[in-house]
Amino acid sequence: MLPGIALGFLWNDTKDPLAILIGATLVGGLSMLTVSAITRTTRLKEDAAMGLVLSSFYAVGICLIGMIQRLPSGNKSGIDKFLFGQAAAMNGSDIALMAITAGLTLLFVTVGYRGLLTLSFHRAFGESLGLPMGFLHHAMMLLISFAVVTAMQAVGVVLVSAMLIIPPATACLLTDRMHRVLILSAIIGVGTAAFGAFLSFLGSNLPTGPFMVLAGSFVFAMAFLFSPQQGWLTRLWRQKTQKCRIERENTLKAMYHLAERHGFREEGITLLELANARREPLEQIRLQSDDLLRQKLATLTDDGSMLHFTPEGWRKACAVVRNHRLWELYLTNIMQYGADHVHDDAEKIEHVLGEDTVRQLERRLDFPQTDPHGKPIPGAREVHGSSKHRPAGTTGY
Amino acid sequence: MSDLLPPFDAHRFFVAPWTTDIATYGWMTLMAFLVTAACGLVGNYLILRRMALVGDAISHSVLPGLAVAFLISGKLTLPAMLGGALGAGLLTTFLIEFLHTRSRIKADAAIGITFCSLFALGVVLINVFASKVHLDAECVLYGELSNLALAEYSLGMPAPVLVMGGVAVIVAVLIALFYKELLITSFDALLAGSQGFAPGKMHLALMAALSIVIVAAFESVGAILVIAMLILPGATAQLLSTRLPVCLALSVLHAALSAIGGLHLSLVLGCPMAAAVVVAGTLLFGCAWAVSLMQRRAGFEASMPTESAV
């Protein structure tokens, strides 16, 4: 882009924004053609070609600027402003040009929304539909050049790419739909730019462009960490709670199995039994029982050796066992699996089956009473807490 | 337009730099050669690993590293600069990796976000805390080879040349020592891992070497031209040969030719020498491109009859 600016500058010896815009856009287009020519005709990959063209053109630009600076007329008036940008030094015509660019971009994106969407996600599909993919691609590149050149005055040639990348990247982390990404990225861009500019006005001699970029980076970092769907910490947190829940459900299930083995008689389950059943050390079981106590899913006898279900805990245990046995039945009866192959699969799926799926399963299996191994499946009534059919005594109350 | 070029003077442009003015131009050319050679050696591996843009990113994010090193040590000594650049380079690598493996952000966007943010941070740090030192952002972007004339001399040569020469020699020795490891990790990281090499460590080591080369090259050529120095020699060499040792040798040759070409070009055009070196390198790349195109065509035509015979 830089040689374009210099050429535009040479053309009529002033910092006429229009001449600079035309020069820069032409050179931008040329550089894109060069990149694609290099990648098509040589073994060099796209990244090498891009870096090469970028820096070579930049060097040509610096050479030209160096030459311009020796001109009697070329007092390099403002040309080095393009390197870092000076939002405060813009005048009315600069702003008018920016407004025109913004308007054009908005129009293009609105009119060509579907085409651009196809281009970005699946170009070959768009071509097969007969959409003008090549035209759209080049029009988009042209608009990017326009946008870059106009934005350069505000933030400079280096940080322009931040303006291009950071707002959409942030929006991408926050939502899934393309139109929302577009709107959100515009809002984020405007918001962070305004905030950054405001920050830079607080002190004296603070550069505007870098502050705008830093405000954007901050918002991006927040989205990266805490975005409800995509955030890194959110996902870690979700994974952790999920793991805890599965652990808890497994303990409840083991307790259910033990109670079942006792014939649902009126006694609790000792921790030692539980440790044997789960094949884990007693300390581990103690931690798990503490967790159950905290969640009010079980009560512990005073000497700390026996667990009893609370009504809520009983319901949960029934639900897990029911999920497990229903799924086993589904696999054997409908999917024709062997009865000895279904347990491991059910071990995994029991934690993620939702309410509706379970009902559906029940309906398809015609409300079964026993699982493939002949064990009774806890009914819906027990899971949903009708006290009448709860085996007496197992709850500890 | 005609006053863009200084009046042509063959003696001043082509003879004097090697006779009367050898004291200044000799060092400048040597420096340009050393920078381009060291960058080109590392750059060969960057291109092979498709990490050319990571070089771009590191060259920009070295700036906050320098700023922080300056803030901590109070002055811009060599160890502080190297340490700052090393830290910044490794941080950049880590951040890029982190962003694009931990979210749906793609690698190219992660690179852009990282280096823009770090560069902005560097500019702000310099503006806020260190506006009085010579570490100004423009010098970081442009760089100027002729600063050599102002540099102090030690051991009979300007200090930056000494540093750059040391870095270039170290890079060359390291590449010679770890040639096999670099080769295998660059071409097939999985195979390298299964053979007991450590691709992760080699990657980090390469990034560390890259940061050090960049910071040493920085003052003379600037952050953006460094990218050209990193990519141009390797790209040119890889157009001409498919053997890595030949490529490495060719990129050193490319460095020498573009340094000398750049010297004369800068005198003829009257423009900064660092940029002229890159322009000369680009011209060489253009020649190599043309040669490779002709080779391809020749190879294509040569293969036609055999194909039709079969």
Establish if B12 belongs to a structural domain. no
Establish if B9 belongs to a structural domain. no
Q: Is B162 exposed, middle or buried (0-12, 13-18, 19+ CB in 10 A)?
A: middle
Establish if B229 belongs to a structural domain. yes
For residues A194 and B26, which has the higher predicted lDDT (pLDDT)? A194
Residue B7 DSSP symbol? P
Enumerate residues 190 to 219 of chain B having a beta carbon within 8 A of any beta carbon in chain A.
none
In chain A, which residues have their Cβ closer than 8 Å to the Cβ of B1?
Answer: 10
Partner-chain residue, chosen from A10, A72, A159, that has the shortest CB–CB distance to B119: A159
Domain parsing of chain A, residue ranges? 235-397
Q: Which of B239, B236, B246 has the alpha carbon at shortest distance from B285?
A: B236
- Cβ contact (<8 Å) for A48 and B109? no
- Distance from the Cα of B156 to chain A's closest Cα (Å) equals 31
> Is the distance from CB of B239 to CB of A32 less than 8 angstroms?
no
Average pLDDT for chain B: 79
Mean pLDDT of A246-250: 87
* Terminal Cα distance for chain A, rounded: 79
- Cβ contact (<8 Å) for A41 and B53? no
Establish if B302 belongs to a structural domain. no
The interaxial angle of helices A46-69 and B199-240, nearest 10 deg, is 70
Residue A390 has pLDDT above 70, yes or no: no
For an interface test with B, give the residue of A44, A55, A163, A212 to mutate (most B CBs within 10 A). Answer: A55
Minimum mean pLDDT among A122-131, A189-198, B219-228: which range?
B219-228
- Distance from the Cα of B230 to chain A's closest Cα (Å) equals 9
- Cβ contact (<8 Å) for B116 and A159? yes
- Distance from the Cα of B53 to chain A's closest Cα (Å) equals 6
For an interface test with A, give the residue of B51, B92, B116, B264 to mutate (most A CBs within 10 A). Answer: B116
Amino acid, single-letter form, for residue B231: I
Dihedral in degrees, nearest 10, Cα atoms A23, A54, A216, B222: -110
- Using pLDDT thresholds of 50, 70 and 90, give the confidence band for residue B305: low
Kindly report the CATH class assigned to A235-397. Answer: mainly alpha
- Cβ contact (<8 Å) for A169 and B3? no
Dihedral in degrees, nearest 10, Cα atoms A49, A53, A59, A64: 170
- Cβ contact (<8 Å) for B47 and A80? no
Q: SS3 of A333, please? A: helix
**Residue in this structure with the two tokens 């990034």, named with its chain if needed:** B207
DSSP for A165-221, written as a single string = HHHHHHHHHH-S-HHHHHHHHHHHHHHHHHHHHHHHHHSTT--HHHHHHHHHHHHHH
- Distance from the Cα of A323 to chain B's closest Cα (Å) equals 33
Phi first, then psi, for residue B243 (nearest 5°) are -95, 130
Tell me: the pLDDT tens digits for A96-115?
Answer: 888 888 898 899 988 888 88
In chain B, the number of structural domains is: 1
Mean pLDDT of A311-324: 86
Partner-chain residue, chosen from A10, A55, A161, that has the shortest CB–CB distance to B116: A161
In chain B, which residues have their Cβ closer than 8 Å to the Cβ of A206?
Answer: 124, 127-128
| CATH number, residue B264 | 1.10.3470.10
Tell me: the pLDDT tens digits for B71-105?
Answer: 887 766 777 778 888 888 888 888 888 888 888 88
The β-bridge partners of B307 are none
User: What does each C-alpha distance from A239 to A15, A225, A226, A236, B90 come to in angstroms?
Assistant: 56, 14, 14, 5, 29
Q: Which of B2, B127, B111 has the alpha carbon at shortest distance from B51?
A: B111
Phi first, then psi, for residue B131 (nearest 5°) are -70, -10
The pLDDT assigned to A328 comes to: 85
- Using pLDDT thresholds of 50, 70 and 90, give the confidence band for residue A27: confident
- Distance from the Cα of A236 to chain B's closest Cα (Å) equals 10
Partner-chain residue, chosen from B53, B117, B141, that has the shortest CB–CB distance to A50: B53
Domain range for B140 is 18-295
The pLDDT assigned to A37 comes to: 84
Tell me: the pLDDT tens digits for B49-78?
Answer: 888 888 888 888 888 888 888 788 776 677
Tell me: the pLDDT tens digits for A348-387?
Answer: 888 888 788 888 888 888 888 777 777 788 876 666 654 4
Establish if B305 belongs to a structural domain. no
- Cβ contact (<8 Å) for A232 and B103? yes
Q: Which of B79, B35, B50, B89 has the alpha carbon at shortest distance from B208?
A: B89
The pLDDT assigned to A187 comes to: 92
Tell me: the pLDDT tens digits for B126-136?
Answer: 777 765 555 55
- Using pLDDT thresholds of 50, 70 and 90, give the confidence band for residue A188: very high
- Cβ contact (<8 Å) for A48 and B120? no
The pLDDT assigned to A237 comes to: 92
Buried b (16+ CB within 10 A) or exposed e, B216-225: bbbbbbbbbb
Pairwise CA distance, residues B299 & B160, whole Å: 46
For an interface test with B, give the residue of A7, A53, A54, A56 to mutate (most B CBs within 10 A). Answer: A56
The pLDDT assigned to B7 comes to: 66
- Cβ contact (<8 Å) for B113 and A64? no
Task: Output the CA torsion sign for A45, A47, A48, A50.
Answer: positive
Residue A236 has pLDDT above 80, yes or no: yes
Q: Which of B132, B137, B159 has the alpha carbon at shortest distance from B147?
A: B159
- Distance from the Cα of A346 to chain B's closest Cα (Å) equals 30
Pairwise CA distance, residues A215 & A230, whole Å: 20
In chain A, which residues have their Cβ closer than 8 Å to the Cβ of B274?
Answer: 59, 62
- Cβ contact (<8 Å) for B228 and A58? yes
Establish if B5 belongs to a structural domain. no
In chain B, which residues have their Cβ closer than 8 Å to the Cβ of A220?
Answer: 113, 117
Tokens coding A304: 């700390």
- Cβ contact (<8 Å) for A162 and B112? yes
Enumerate residues 174 to 193 of chain B having a beta carbon within 8 A of any beta carbon in chain A.
none
Q: With residue B168 as reference, give the H or E element that holds it.
A: helix B159-177
In chain A, which residues have their Cβ closer than 8 Å to the Cβ of B102?
Answer: 224, 232
Pairwise CA distance, residues A182 & A120, whole Å: 13
**Which residue in chain A is spatially nearest to B60 when comparing CA positions?**
A158
> Is the distance from CB of B29 to CB of B193 less than 8 angstroms?
no
Partner-chain residue, chosen from B99, B120, B224, that has the shortest CB–CB distance to A58: B224
- Using pLDDT thresholds of 50, 70 and 90, give the confidence band for residue B152: low
